[in-house]
A and B are shown apart, each in its own frame.
Chain A
Amino acid sequence: MLQNILLGFAQLASWDVLLALLIGTAGGMIVGALPGFSAAMGVSLLIPLTYGMNGTAALVMLTAMYTSAIYGGSITAILCHTPGTPASAATAIDGFQLTKQGRGMEAMGVATVSSAIGGTVSAIIMLFVAPALGKFSLKFSVLEYFLLAVFGLTVIASLAGENIVKGLFSGVLGLLLGCVGLDALAGVPRMTMGNINLEDGINFVPALIGLFSVAQVMSLAYDVHHGKTGSVIEDEENLKHSRVLPPWKETKTLIPSQIRSSLVGTIVGIVPAAGAGVSSWICYSLGKRFSKHPEKFGHGAMDGVASCEAGNNAATGGALIPLITLGLPGSSVAAILMGGLMIHGLTPGASMFTKNAPTTYGIMVGFLIANILMGLIGLFAARYIARVSSAPMGLLGPVIVCLCCIGTFAIRNNMFDVLVMLVFGLIGFVLKRCGFAAPPLILGMVLSDICENNWRRTLILAGAKGGLFKYFIGRPIAIVLFLLVLVSFLSPIIMNAVSKKAKSSALEK
């Protein structure tokens, strides 16, 4: 174990990896600080840039971008009550109150340190838990991989947004789009409309750049034409003249909250579908419950900021554990990262800890360093990064569109990919307007191939071993996974019924 961790550090000892780490961390903060730009958008825009890099440098850059974009979202949440990413929504409650009290930079400092602690703790847990889980996945066969993919699909309900039926529609449409191209077993073209470019399937990266970036800039164009053109920071003077951290007496009282939220956040992150957004709310509510001054929550509690920021960054490391070990993307960013892994020839699962072990440990150690680096950069540069959010959207939008085009072209030096991106931009915008969430579509596209191929191979294997039921009964891990699928599928329905009952009984009282 220790030898492998040292091997991971050795992987980082090259200029390209260190530069990738720095760019990913700083870039993530900037993307996160821009309201309306999510971590998913930042990671998807970055993927084409990683094509020419080695696997370690590329994945270190992407995971660094992921964690620091979640942190970057707190900058605008605290300073202007506009969460840069959905994961920082809870931070905005107390963070902005502190800004109004003239303590905005101190809240920023607490958010920075808490995010770094949360991310670092989750990275350490990942270093120790992931290899064990990876070894366990050696026992998996095609049936278990099929059930894991189905388990991943049950996440759709929680990514669906306001309308579960439309979310499910998006997810199934994603599965269907994943079927486009030559059928892997029969070699028959499906839904290619005679276009030879589609025989390899719809390239995942142009599709997600279109869905997340182009569609978002189209929405920004609407905002700009409806008066939202200027800066979101109200009091820039506050950024220039104040201390970065509260006095030590106050800072030390936050340590229990930071540690508790880091541990809880990591566990929440491991659970598919929970993610950084859910984690920050859970940690905020736990922070309030354990606080000596719960009455301060909502009116400017440093504890509140520390709890949600440690929680949401811890969830990023947690989310990487099932992704690397089981190929289970629990969130939209994790699904995009899974695409990043595949592009660089890394298949999530046991092979990540056998033949690809040096790269995997390089990625995990890189993620650990990224969180520490994020804390250091944040403490020194947060006040300058905060000014990014004052960049007019009318200038940023066109630059992003041009970046999307060149980034997409760079994937295979192919203009067809740019057209795919353009079409998916329109699809993404139409879906958004009609109330269909885009993340389930991406999740469906990613899991489609794994799901279909493993299911068809399972049928062939089961046929040779006396039938599907007999084959299934003989595999205890598959039974456990099947039960997990059932629980995951039924839990939103049960929870919904329980909460309705609780609500109606409360109203009756």
Chain B
Amino acid sequence: MKKDIHQDVYIGIACAALCVVIFFMNHGLPGGAGAMPLLLDAILAVLSVVIFVGGLRKSKLPAEERKGEKKAFTLDAVKIPFIFWLIVAGYVLLFYVTGYFVATAVMMIVMMLFMKRKDWKTMLIIDVVYLVIMYFVFVRMLGVNIDGFGLLGRLF
């Protein structure tokens, strides 16, 4: 019978891999600068092993005891949040081209559509009201120069 490996086994391996990366980043730093990061890295490595061993133990549990267990990375559980994150990343990258206000006007609607909103009137009202408030609060009152950011922003 094929054994279902508990997710903590993979999480433990990923954590240990992270520890190796951290070790090489801090190894050989002069003047005692690497002491604290290396000490913390060693603690992380021990905890990674504990997570890994815990995962192995959980893998051996009978199927009935593992019924209610939530899996961290099923496609269903992470697909929507990751797509949403990519939309947000696209929104941030759009700042560099169009500036904050144009990017927000477009991407807020895109995000609302992704969140299954269909009432265009409400979406447009929220979009416009948000942009007006942000302009007056951040640009005019707080002096944040976000309006001058991005290729389009520099033109004005």
The 6 sampled A-B contact pairs (Cβ below 8 Å) are A398-B112, A398-B115, A405-B91, A405-B100, A433-B72, A434-B72
Q: Which 4 residue pairs are nearest across A and B when measured between Cβ atoms? A: A186-B31, A394-B115, A398-B111, A183-B33
Residues of B within 8 A of A52 (CB): 141-143
Q: Given A172-B40, A214-B88, A222–B81 Cβ distance below 8 Å?
A: yes
Cα–Cα distance between A176 and B21 once the two chains are bound (Å): 13
Residues of B within 8 A of A186 (CB): 29-33
> In angstroms, how far is the closest chain A Cβ from the Cβ of B100?
7
Chain B binder among A163-171, A261-269, A474-482: A163-171
Contacting residues of chain B (32-81) with chain A, CB-CB under 8 angstroms: 32-34, 36-37, 40-41, 43-44, 47-48, 50-51, 54, 72-73, 77-78, 80-81
B115–A183 touching, CB < 8 Å: no
When the two chains form the complex, which single residue of B34, B40, B91 contacts A175, counting CB atoms closer than 8 Å?
A: B40
Give B contacts to A, CB under 8 Å. 7, 11, 15, 22, 25-26, 29-34, 36-37, 40-41, 43-44, 47-48, 50-51, 54, 72-73, 77-78, 80-85, 88-89, 91-92, 95-96, 100, 104, 107-108, 111-112, 114-117, 122-123, 126, 130, 134, 137-138, 141-146, 149
> In angstroms, how far is the closest chain A Cβ from the Cβ of B124?
12
> In angstroms, how far is the closest chain A Cβ from the Cβ of B12?
10
**For chains A and B in complex, what number of residue pairs have CB atoms within 8 angstroms?**
162
Q: A221-B115, A406-B144 are in contact. List 17 more A-B contacts (CB 8 A).
A: A51-B142, A179-B40, A191-B25, A214-B85, A221-B114, A394-B116, A395-B123, A398-B112, A406-B100, A410-B138, A413-B144, A418-B95, A422-B88, A422-B89, A425-B85, A435-B11, A455-B36
B47–A172 touching, CB < 8 Å: yes
Complex: chain A residue closest to B134, CB-CB: A406
Task: State the main secondary structure of chain A at its contact with B.
Answer: helix
> In angstroms, how far is the closest chain B Cβ from the Cβ of A435?
7
A452–B142 touching, CB < 8 Å: no
A433–B78 touching, CB < 8 Å: yes
Measured as residues with beta carbon below 8 angstroms from the partner, the interface class of chain A is 35 or more
When the two chains form the complex, which single residue of B22, B41, B73, B146 contacts A410, counting CB atoms closer than 8 Å?
A: B146
B30–A395 touching, CB < 8 Å: no
Cβ of A456 under 8 Å from chain B: yes
- Hey, what's the 0/1 contact readout for A394-423 against B, CB within 8 Å counting as 1? 110111011001100110010100110010
Cα–Cα distance between A397 and B80 once the two chains are bound (Å): 14
> In angstroms, how far is the closest chain A Cβ from the Cβ of B79?
9
Q: Given A183-B31, A401-B91, A166–B81 Cβ distance below 8 Å?
A: no
